[in-house]
Amino acid sequence: MADVDLVKNSEVTNGCTKGLSDPYVPSKIIQKKRDGEGMTKKEMEWFIREVSELEGGSFTDAQIGAWLMASYLKGFSSEEISWMTEAMMHSGDILQWPAEFKGHLVDKHSTGGVGDKISLPLAPALAACGLKVPMISGRGLAHTGGTLDKLESIPNFQVTNFKQSDMNQMLRDVGCFIIGQSGNLVPADKKLYAVRDITATVNSIPLITSSIMSKKAAESLDALVLDVKCGKAAFMQDFNSSKQLAEKMVNAGSSLGMKMVALITQMDNPIGRAIGNAIEVAESLQCLQGNGDPDLLELVYALGSHLMAASGHVKSIEEGESKLKSVLDDGSALEKFKDMVIAQGVKPSLAQRLVDVDLTDIDNIWSVLDKSENVTDIKTTAGGYVSEIDAISLAVVAKELGAGREEEGAPIDHTVGLRLYVSRGSHIKEGELWVRVYHQSKLTQDHIHQIKGALTLSSDPVDKKSRIIQVVSA
């Protein structure tokens, strides 16, 4: 079957053709939002179209900022969120897939967390279950790298400059890929986010919803699962805000024809036992080798099984979990990971070494990937049961050592990371090793103090709680 090219929306956007006289005035649109009046669908389409114009748009940055602040303060109706999401989706290219993929196209989105490497084992596991996973991910800001940064720990792994025909071929041959956003996918979001960033309007739930869901809708997905983090190490720290965001994203995605489900998940303690970039690739490979940490596996199984059920590929969550366990245990998901990294530029010999390395001891990964010059072991000063591991404290240390970035485009040191030897509920004796730090620059006394302070012990046994707080469906 011939490849289908991108649909171009630069000339016509939702029926609004360039060159027609503008029916609206920026100041009037701003005034409506300022006064709490709802915008019409046509007004929203016009606003997004004008914002998307690189040259000649009707709105100045100051006017966009005024509209964003008015929207932040006055809010949106559900219809406005859906209209904005749809208009943003149509502001640039939309991926169009061959008909043979219809009904099988799925993806997962996370609001971000510490140690969040779920996409790395989940995408190939879903592909091994027969789904098509066109995963478009991002780079991390602040604490640690994003999904793309983690994968770039693997030499020659490519995340950019893929044409539609390349993506089609990877889905045919492998069933999944993990790449970066192309330059003309939802350009309205790039413009709006740049202004949101300098006008203190980033954490508006309706604006977050439209930003995330417009990009996912532009992937032309059949189904999407959302991992909405909630807790001290999450963007949304309280449950009510997390639930509101989950509900609005599910509703917005459903209005655009995607089958939607969201899981609100706990994000106080680090996910799994690795924080960083290369070290999280290693933990992901552990999972794909059938030896995953239970904490990591819980999220892989939960997100994957709910997605498979929402998309109609299994009749129950239990059936979905059973299929995922099977492909992780029999090595077929690991084989998909190998095929994916080869398709994205990694030499076959290196890819084979990656999947063959014995990760019973995760430190064996350094025989394949670059290793930091320095390793520092930190031991406990007391014994007891682990009641909490402060994910943010550890993430801040990782960032300061080079695992994260403050500004877009800044370099990341893939070798920096932390390996945990305990998890919530573990028992540890005084003087035992609980975290190993991989670093290039000096580990200061402040870093050591912060790491030690991240561990909270109890004299009484601590139950291991599920990370799944609530499931939100359409």
Contact 79/248 with Cβ under 8 angstroms? no
For the annotated catalytic residues, the residue numbers are: 109, 189, 196, 211, 215
Contact 204/69 with Cβ under 8 angstroms? no
Q: Give the C-alpha separation, 67 to 27, whole Å.
A: 9
Contact 391/354 with Cβ under 8 angstroms? no
According to DSSP, the β-strands at 417-420 and 274-276 are: antiparallel
Contact 235/200 with Cβ under 8 angstroms? no
Nearest CA-CA partner of 408 in 146, 140, 115, 215: 140
Contact 215/135 with Cβ under 8 angstroms? no
The token pair at 422 is: 């305990």
Q: Give the C-alpha separation, 27 to 284, whole Å.
A: 51
Cα separations (Å) of 440 from 58, 168, 228, 410, 430? 49, 40, 33, 17, 28
Q: Give the C-alpha separation, 265 to 267, whole Å.
A: 6
Residue type at 453 in one-letter notation: G
Q: Give the C-alpha separation, 405 to 145, whole Å.
A: 7
Q: Give the C-alpha separation, 305 to 348, whole Å.
A: 31
- Residue burial 273-296, b: 16+ Cβ < 10 Å; e: rest: bbbbbbbbbbbbbbbbbeebbebb
The sign of the torsion formed by the CA atoms of 352, 355, 358, 363 equals positive
Q: Give the C-alpha separation, 140 to 134, whole Å.
A: 19
Contact 2/97 with Cβ under 8 angstroms? no
The sign of the torsion formed by the CA atoms of 467, 424, 389, 178 equals negative
Residue recorded with tokens 């930003």: 211
